[in-house]
Structure 1
Amino acid sequence: RTLLLLTAVLLVFLPSGSSPGELLASFAQMDVTSKSLGNLNIVPRDILVALICLVVGLLSVRVLKEWFGERLLPETNMDEGMQASLVTLIGYIGFVLVVAVVMSTLNISLTNLTWVVSALSVGIGFGLQAIVQNFISGLILLTERPVKVGDWVSLAGVEGDIRRINVRATEIQMSDRSTVIVPNSQFITQNVRNVTMGNALGVVGITLTLPLETDVLQIRELLLQAFTEHEAILDAPAPSVTFKDLTNTGVIISASGYVNSPRSVGGARSDLLFTVLGRLRELGIALSAPQSMVLINEGPGKEATDESVTP
């Protein structure tokens, strides 16, 4: 990348009639009192002005981003993800404007830039495709916003919260507080599950396997009461209890209810399990234990006997 950058800088000055060797010699013979730099049509004073514009411009963009991100946007009704996307776009636009001002100060025309584009095309062809692809994908993520900062996403075995969308990659924070860096192009080319997109509701589900002699209607009322009493369970859609299956090991009862966010599912399910198991214990109802069949062969000529063992 460094070699490519140096090549691009040299190519910018080639239309002036100087070869790379002449360009370096011109820098070595620079006369600060003259109005030009060797054979190049660039005034040393313009270089100084361009450097000042670059430094002041970048500092101004940084201050502007901080003002938008920390003072102006938090006072609006925008969600956190939209604020982060807008601040990032402001940074990109500001950087482009600063570069345009610097180029104007150096009197670099668009014709000269065609050499830079040619050099970049060669670089892209030799190994920068992934970088350019990730950069373009980052712009798509910031404009279309299929995912945004604060979303809970699942991608290629990685699941967590998006903390930052950068130029090249996106930072995802896992449940253990570790951070995974994912290239932006993966969000465009692969299937992404956005758990929290569109204010999605969370579903809390509990499945119980009970002995065949259990009063299923009593269990149904017990589960409905537990779900209804929990403060996190929504009234609409209402909780439901279904008879899921009947097997030789017992009856399978399933209950489900909705919470206002997928992030609340884990805590609500834990609370409900504590409540339901406590009430089953009070009623003297035990969960059905799995049974296994053991075949005992006592020798030739004797029939095998089977014995049911409950662990």
Structure 2
Amino acid sequence: MSLRLPSEIVVERFLPTARAVLARALAERGLTQREIAAHLGVTQAAVSTYVSGDPDLEERFSGDERLRRTVERIADGFASGSTGGYEALAELLELIRAFEDRGPICAVHEEEMPALEGLGCDLCVRGADGAVLAEREALDAVRRASRRLADAPATIDHVPNVGTNVGTAVPDAEDATDVAAVPGRLQAVNSRVLVPADPEFGASQRVATTILAAMAVDPDVRGALNLATSDALLDAARDRGIDPLAFDAGYEDRDERLRERFRERGRPARVCYHEGAFGIEPVTYVLGETATEAAELAVELVEGASA
């Protein structure tokens, strides 16, 4: 693994870009290269490169409206004499903190340290506390589960018209905002299952409701996904020794009704389903300790149903 600190991104990529953009803004305001060099703490030769040459700018920084607004404020203050180095430093540090909070510094950091890619990392601003680690684990479980479903050719025949969603809750989840899922849901398009976006918390109400109902009976069952109900899918579950649990399709008080059905059984069902109702498509939920585990079972079922 390539170990890169975010501070390295700031020093090697952000700072040269910010200096170049600020140098050009100051030159536009009539400051000499010597005056610009004094403000930026660099040599006059460096300013010449910034202003007249072809400096290597990181476009994810230079093209960001927040950087442009910050540079304009600092440049106006330097030009008028109303801003000193302390104030300018405060402006830039505030911008860096914003860029480190799932912003462009994160994007560059992920590119240079691939182990961070797709984690929604906010390590710089929140630290390595247990809650953050639990959130990352939930997001990662949903990401892996989505890929597993998308990579299984048999999945496409079992994606409902409303789409398939995949979710994992953090421990002690209380509502849908504590459940990571896929915004927009997985969709069957042109013989492929597409994953439209990286997972986010609060992205699925229905899957979250099922997970929270399961957790009320067994806190270890924190993952679920939905597929289209079919006899073949339910038969595939029975072939694996799973007794699918039927429940009413209505949305009203669904969480309470599911909890009651799970309590009656003594544990959450690994497969539960409804046959639909007016305006409600028949859907089957596959559950597991995480979305990853639910996805492995789901792939077994769709492949069994297609055999």
TM-score (norm 2): 0.27
More helix by share: 2
